[in-house]
Amino acid sequence: MHHPAPDATQRKLLDAIGPHVAFDGWSEEAFRAACEESGIAPDEARLHCPRGAIDLAILFHREGDQRMIEMLDTADLSDMRFRDKVAHAIRLRLQASGDKEAVRRGTTLFALPHMAPEGSALIWGTADAIWTALGDTSDDANWYTKRATLSAVYGAVVLYWLGDTTPDHSATDAFIDRRIEDVMRFEKFKSAVNDNPLLKPFTVPLGKLAGQIKAPGRSDPEDVPGRWTRP
């Protein structure tokens, strides 16, 4: 889903809240401090961010997605295997995150039961942004399975990255490679199952069912929350 670019007030609030998030999290206290520091009256700030710091945390994540896309657009991926392109995109997304403590605090926020659906939608949006930027053209059940799989991988990578203290996050780099390898092994297994004549009686009905599942209409990307399109 394409989300409108932040307006000037939202941008000022996001810039101002950053230093306070490390101490107070994405909280009401941090939001009030951002209002005071940016010189924006609280009532005006609420018009642009009705949920206060929560809206800014969501904006922070989506801005990271957009920075990743911009970096992918200028990267030379021509000599990379596809698995390496996906791994590179994940690394760029971590790089685009900026302040690790802000990400840590956001992870804590979106782990709360009432915020979990919002957090899951943000991770799904990141996975969709990666697949879309890498040229995914699937329009059936694969559209969903690719994003579901990558969402799980990216979520695990973020948690690992937050605890990684190795120089240049070398341990995270290795972790990403292992997770992508797991995904590729699954894809090979799935392909082998589909090609196995002994399993045809089981896979054909499933294939017919999957064939009836369509990705969100490409003519209307608003069909599904988290669908990323270029602005």
Lowest mean pLDDT segment, chosen from 50-64, 66-80, 138-152, 154-168:
138-152
CB 76 within 8 A of CB 89: no
pLDDT average, residue stretch 161-181: 94
pLDDT average, residue stretch 118-138: 94
User: Could you give all domains of the chain from N- to C-terminal order, each with its CATH number?
Assistant: 69-223 (1.10.357)
Rounded Cα distance, 178 and 193, in Å: 23
CB 146 within 8 A of CB 226: no
Comparison of pLDDT for 65 and 188, the residue scoring more: 65
Mean pLDDT, the chain, as a whole number? 85
Q: What is the pLDDT of residue 184?
A: 74
Over 70: is that where the pLDDT of 3 sits?
yes
pLDDT average, residue stretch 185-190: 59
How does residue 225 score in pLDDT terms, banded at 50, 70 and 90? very low
Residue 168, phi-psi category: left (phi > 0), alpha (psi -120 to 50), beta (remainder):
left
The pTM (predicted TM-score) of the whole model is: 0.83
